[in-house]
Amino acid sequence: MTTQTPSLANQPETSPNNSLDKSLNRQMIVILDFGSQYSELIARRIRETQVYSEVLSYRTTAQKLRQLNPKGIILSGGPNSVYDAHAPQCDPDIWQLGIPVLGVCYGMQLMVKQLGGQVEKATRGEYGKASLRIDDPTDLLTNVEDGSTMWMSHGDSCTRLPEGFSILAHTENTLCAAIANHQEKLFGVQFHPEVVHSVYGIALIRNFVYHICECEPTWTTEAFVDETIREIRAKVGEKRVLLALSGGVDSSTLAFLLHQAIGDKLTCMFIDQGFMRKGEPERLVEIFDQQFHIAVEYVNARDRFLKQLEGVTDPEKKRRLIGHEFIKVFEEESKRLGPFDYLAQGTLYPDVIESADTNVDPKTGERVAVKIKSHHNVGGLPKDLRFKLVEPLRKLFKDEVRKVGRSIGLPEEIVRRHPFPGPGLAIRIIGEVTSERLNILRDADFVVRDEISKQGMYHDFWQAFAVLLPIRSVGVMGDQRTYAHPIVLRLITSEDGMTADWAKVPYDLLEIMSNRIVNEVKGVNRVVYDITSKPPGTIEWE
């Protein structure tokens, strides 16, 4: 058991066909996805136990699962009712594999139905927090406190259990809140242990992973980095690799990892489209080129991008134009610097789960690039610009990328950098993007970041930034009336960006930022604070 190796999940702060060396996958839990919004979250919770997990389609056959040989299988929740005519079903031969199974919500109901039990529409649905009353505190519910809160979200209930099953726990409204066939190692829960609202949810998951599936904590940062470097060297050999560097944590971690693996055979290209925050392009080149001696080809394309956005106000058109222009610049510069055999992309595991954009070279069987995801997440590379892909991060979630970056020496200022949209400040300027408006927004945004850093609060927020509105408001400055732009402050807290709350920022800090922006940023005479959560709003304004 590896207890001293740094963990991908617990350090301080994919597809099996494309997996790394199989030694990383000996201890694996498979999640079969039935359309739950929490399927990725289940995978992340498993990885927090230092055990590798993958999300696969519910259509995955028992034969395929037998080949993968996971230590356990989890059936996710889903929006359907198991008695619907076209409800998704798993391969019934899964129950004969002898592999422990945990069904969550819909997954539990499907288990009950396929094994001969009965599921019906509940007399009374159950949504939100519920107190779990434990009837059998063994196996799955070991160390789960009786009466603890679990998160419910179901309108159906199990009314008759299959032969061999017993009830482990109930709630006020649900008789079968947790069930088990101990002999066959089949378990089900009607609640969602993976969400933070389920107080002892992670304890239940650990019970399944360690006690029932008998996994060991082998999914570690050190193991991942060592195996990945070996795989990169074996795959690339003496060929050249091109990486489009954005300065974000994904592409920066990838750059450091590739540089450790192949050294000067890596070429990093940074295309400055003019929409980054104040001082960031210069700082990026300084960090990579001067501090760590990773050569960066800096391409100043600011005028080209700004010209493309002349007179454009529609946010989607902005994104498309920026994406298309990025492709043009990338193509021109890659031909100038090339030839290259491989394109490195910062594809993460959520991209693998959510995207079917996989193109295979018929001669080699390798994936080839027709979409660049590492920079803008918009547009596609021309089909005649064919690279083989190197995607070393495609097995990782965002939090795991940060831990890998930290372990290989990526500066903390990049590791913990707030998320920043690919189109940058262009979509934080509502309306037309001009040089004047970019300068105003850069200066206002700098004040926000500078003040929260001075207060030691930078890492209290998921994101903190300014937005420039395309209107002018009346003001009084120096006994004269002014008509200038208002700035919107947007500071939010979140775990993963899927949902977010507006931050309850101290009034004193808001006052300091407002005073500085109005006094230091020419063209602004009013500052307002956005108190909209996500949902109903989004984090970005465009």
Catalytic residues: 105, 192, 194
Strand (E) or helix (H) holding 189: strand 186-189
The Cα 502–Cα 427 span in angstroms is 19
Tokens encoding 438: 């970019």
Tokens encoding 45: 């919770």
| Residue 126 and residue 173 in contact, taking contact as beta carbons nearer than 8 Å | yes
In 108-121, which positions are buried (b, 16+ CB within 10 angstroms) versus exposed (e)? bbbbbbbbebebee
Based on DSSP, count helices (H) and strands (E) in the chain, helices before strands: 14, 20
Strand (E) or helix (H) holding 516: helix 507-520
Instruction: For residue 429, report the phi and psi dihedrals to the nearest 5 degrees.
Output: -105, 110
The Cα 487–Cα 517 span in angstroms is 8
The Cα 428–Cα 199 span in angstroms is 38
- Residue 365, number of CB atoms within 10 A of its CB: 8
Tokens encoding 173: 């409204």
Tokens encoding 134: 């434990």
Q: How buried is residue 477: exposed, middle or buried, by Cβ count under 10 Å (0-12/13-18/19+)?
A: exposed
The Cα 72–Cα 50 span in angstroms is 14
Q: What is the 3-state secondary structure (H, E, C) of 41-104?
A: HHHHHHHHCCCEEEEEECCCCHHHHHHHCCCEEEECCCCCCCCCCCCCCCCHHHHHCCCCEEEE
